[in-house]
Chain A
């Protein structure tokens, strides 16, 4: 089962290494990881998406909380949080295929960010399912490159 952890860490060199090192040495698998600044300049927010049962996730949270540079670890459960990911897809696009790609992109509220004689690059944000669905629809045209940021997430409401 997928779990999403939001980890507030001190904004210092080497902190990401400590978090990632913990995952690798304890044998936890990361699906995706994103990191950036947070509302507080002293801290960065790391969002980790991972697979595991409740006991594994409990153990990961406790081990993370033991790291001195980790300020807070929260699990963001799907019903109480919003998950988003940014995805850039470069698709082969002949003149004939272009209108179709434009149409699908419109349906997905995706932006066309670059067009060349042979390619179209689309920018899309959404949760995992939306992005995967879009990628499936682009496959027949020929996907040249995909770049994804990995999931980031935030809790819903006034928490």
Chain B
């Protein structure tokens, strides 16, 4: 059939199984929005307050489902406003397809109104990007974009569509989407045997799991793997949910704010098995002091991650789910009583905890959120202290239940991502845990949550400060609090929530926490719970910059 480029775009989205997009209109995407008007029974468009919100929403949609999230923005500022969201998705390997309009092909390169070189700008933050200059290429480009986004190590793909390409017409015929390629290489039986031998030889094995476990849908295999090895499992921030926090082998997060047990075990282990993880600097801190006496087995889908930040002894490249399921039958139970008791000793010596002050404390708020909602809710965070407390005090047992900006560390990510997660998971409460600094960045998306009546709870851990930066200033900059106080900003968050049409709760005492959470959960619509805490609360343990991960500072230690 003869269709316009805009219609072809929407037909291709439907073909790919997309019924939801997040976006914001503008001049260059008018033809696409006109087509959306016609396709409103097939594609639900969610209008955000800002294109950045749309990009984070597409990301949250993708992270909470594993499906490709789609966002749409106009040329120029519309496209540049997507950039932070695309970069966030890129760093955390989240599959999104970003569609941007651009000026008509003859106007490209002429510094036309609202023209930017969108593919040039997004080149280093996308897995791949395209500009389509002929409507005849559009359908296959969209198909390729989806295929690239979800194949192998997932990631964002951008397709830039000039306005005249969206209005031009050509013949279109539907195609069945190609299945996503999980891997490009194949491990051999010899490699698997060699890996099994190395594992059998280990006396003190530690498993370090990252976001690849979740992307690779291999939680069940990892649980089985850890059980056979009787090995402790630590996770990166991206790996949270990839291994159940309640599993007896779990030792919590590793890294700069890792648990004392994880960081000590990494230093003492003689064999480190990294699975779907990339040895980020926030995990390894000082590379020379990381797992100094360990051989390293690295299992990952991306060959470029092998030997990138840490030298490996042996590697298996491919789909982690498949590799683990092939490896498990080759493994025998080995008695490592000494190591097992060392793990137990460390877990007992360093239980998760904090010094109680009698005031409202962030750790308590997050513990209560976990206790009252972890069985049903999806948790999202912004970036900073509240994020690290969330990593420690939320007990996440399911993959895709905890969404956080791990790699890029994007303040302002959470609310948009929570909207995407809420849209993708109808009936599931979504709780975004934010600091007041992060909330200020993108609270405009509360309007979106209210418009679409999403069961979204925004929990503001409000210390009237940029807490994580302030913590560094306390510890490493001699308490010179340069520009980290937000006391001068007197915005009333309760009134602000009301203005948006969200239901506010103000919590100042521990005794008020449960009531607010329960009421907010029962309401099932946008709520804001403002929790007033002290600006002197700090995140512990903490590894000072440049130190080894075993040189962590515990609460009361500095």
Count residues on chain B whose CB falls below 8 Å from chain A CBs.
14
CA distance in complex: A63, B153 (Å) = 13
- What is the bound-complex CA distance between A63 and B307, given in angstroms? 12
Beyond A14-B119, A62-B303, list 13 extra A-B contacts (CB 8 Å). A14-B123, A17-B120, A17-B123, A18-B123, A21-B123, A21-B124, A55-B307, A59-B307, A59-B308, A63-B304, A68-B127, A68-B148, A69-B128
Q: Which of A16-48 contact B (CB under 8 A)?
A: 17-18, 21, 25
A110 within 8 A of B: no
Nearest chain B CB to A89 CB, angstrom units = 36
User: Which residue among A25, A62, A63 has the maximum number of chain B CB atoms within 10 Å of its CB?
Assistant: A62
Please tell me if A58 contacts chain B, counting CB pairs below 8 Å. Answer: yes
List, in ascending order, chain A residues with CB within 8 A of B302's CB: 66
Classify the interface of chain A: helix, strand, loop or mixed.
helix
Q: What number of A residues sit within 8 Å (CB to CB) of B?
A: 15
Query: Which chain B positions have C-beta within 8 A of A65?
Result: 303-304
17 contacts between A and B (CB under 8 A): A14-B119, A14-B120, A17-B120, A17-B123, A18-B123, A21-B123, A21-B124, A55-B307, A55-B311, A59-B307, A62-B306, A63-B304, A65-B303, A66-B304, A67-B128, A68-B148, A69-B128
Q: Out of A14, A21, A59, which one reaches B304, CB within 8 Å?
A: A59
B128 in contact with A25 (CB, 8 Å): no
Q: Count how many pairs of residues, one from A and one from B, have CB atoms less than 8 Å apart in the complex.
A: 28
Within B124-150, the residues touching A (CB, 8 Å) are 124, 127-128, 148
Please name all residues of chain B whose beta carbon is closer than 8 Å to the beta carbon of A68 when the two chains form the complex. Answer: 127-128, 148
Question: Which residues in chain B, 306-354, are within 8 Å of chain A measured between CB atoms?
Answer: 306-308, 311
Q: B120 — which chain A residues lie within 8 A by C-beta?
A: 14, 17
Interface string of B106-128 (1 = CB under 8 A from A): 00000000000001100110011
What is the bound-complex CA distance between A14 and B306, given in angstroms? 28
Please measure, in the bound complex, the distance between the C-alpha atom of A14 and the C-alpha atom of B118, giving whole angstroms. 12
Residues of chain B within 8 A (CB-CB) of A62 are 303-304, 306
Q: Identify the closest chain B residue to A24 (Cβ).
A: B124
1/0 contact string of A105-146 vs chain B (CB within 8 Å) = 000000000000000000000000000000000000000000
Chain B residues positioned under 8 Å from A18 (CB to CB): 123
Alpha-carbon separation in the docked complex, A66 to B300 (Å): 14
- Interfacial chain A residues near B303, Cβ < 8 Å: 62, 65
User: Which residues of chain B are within 8 angstroms of A21 by Cβ–Cβ distance?
Assistant: 123-124
Closest B residue, CB atoms, query A62: B304
Give min CB distance, A65 to chain B, whole Å.
7
Shortest beta-carbon distance from A73 to chain B in Å:
11
Question: Which chain B residue lies CB-closest to A68?
Answer: B128
